Amino acid sequence: MDILKTESLFKELMEQGLGLDLSDPNLADTPRRFAKMIGTELMANQEADIKNLDNIIRSFPNKKKFDEIIMLDNIPFVSTCSHHLLPFPGLAWVLYVPDKKLMGASKASRIINFFSKKLQLQENLSTEVIDAIMTHVEPLGAMLVMRAVHGCMSCRGVKTGSGAGMTTSVTRGCFRNNIDTRIEALELIKLSRSFGE
């Protein structure tokens, strides 16, 4: 992404398209701030190579052969909707049953953060995260639940406020094939959510 060009074009949009006065001290640096935010935060991984995930998703040998559900919970994320360029912040729950590898405890947060930094739909974000975990950690199964409040609903259009959101659930392996495993996972998420109340 060309941050200087983005700044220049956004400045033009503000002045000529929106008719804003950039001599206003509150607006003077907005094109620079906007370009930096888009380029280094919201869309930093728009064209990222997922081969680099080996540096993000560290795993360790499962020497003790742990074979029960591991859950990493209440993981905050913010991504940006490709339809209206508005953020959708939320929380995620990652569950997996290990096989030969254990995923580092912070790695679920890192991979969600990696895939969140681009324009997209929440459904696609959920699928990318779970597929990366399946590929790099190779568990017996994995499940991801994400709940987000979408700016395109909360502050425009139907204006639902901060209460209404979207929840996506993606399952692979034993979480998809075994209803008892999925039910146990949902109960763990319910327990996790109760701690925050």
**pTM of the shown model:** 0.88
Q: How confident is the model at residue 4 (pLDDT cuts 50, 70, 90)?
A: very high
Residue 166's beta-bridge partner residues? 148
Are residues 76 and 166 both part of a single domain? yes
Are residues 92 and 171 both part of a single domain? yes
Q: What is the pLDDT of residue 48?
A: 64
- Asked if the model's pLDDT at residue 163 lies above 80, the reply is no
Are residues 30 and 113 both part of a single domain? no
Secondary structure class of 180 (helix, strand, coil): helix
Who has greater pLDDT, 51 or 111?
Answer: 111
Are residues 109 and 59 both part of a single domain? yes
Are residues 35 and 81 both part of a single domain? no
The radius of gyration computed from the CA coordinates of the chain, to the nearest angstrom, equals 20
Average pLDDT score over the chain: 91
For residue 120, give its domain range.
50-195
Mean of pLDDT values over 27-44: 90
* Whole-number Å distance between alpha carbons of 45 and 58: 19
Give strand ranges (E) for the chain.
Answer: 59-61, 70-81, 87-97, 101-103, 119-120, 141-148, 166-173
Q: How far is CA 171 from the centre of its chain?
A: 16
Who has greater pLDDT, 12 or 157?
Answer: 12
Are residues 98 and 184 both part of a single domain? yes
Are residues 76 and 151 both part of a single domain? yes
- Counting the structural domains of the chain, the total is 2
- Asked if the model's pLDDT at residue 155 lies above 80, the reply is no
Q: How far apart are the first and last CA of the chain?
A: 41
Q: What is the pLDDT of residue 51?
A: 62
Task: Kindly report which listed range (1-15, 27-41, 51-65, 115-129) carries the lowest average pLDDT score.
Answer: 51-65
- Asked if the model's pLDDT at residue 49 lies above 80, the reply is no
Where does residue 14 rank: exposed (0-12), middle (13-18), buried (19+ CB within 10 A)? middle
Other CB atoms within a 10 A radius of the CB of residue 187 amount to: 11
Are residues 163 and 190 both part of a single domain? yes
Are residues 60 and 130 both part of a single domain? yes
Are residues 103 and 165 both part of a single domain? yes
Q: What is the pLDDT of residue 196?
A: 64
* Whole-number Å distance between alpha carbons of 46 and 42: 9
Other CB atoms within a 10 A radius of the CB of residue 15 amount to: 14
Are residues 10 and 57 both part of a single domain? no
**CATH code for the domain of 121:** 3.30.1130.10
Q: What is the pLDDT of residue 29?
A: 95
Convert the pLDDT of each residue in 62-111 to its tens digit.
Answer: 999 999 999 999 999 999 999 988 899 999 999 999 999 999 999 999 99
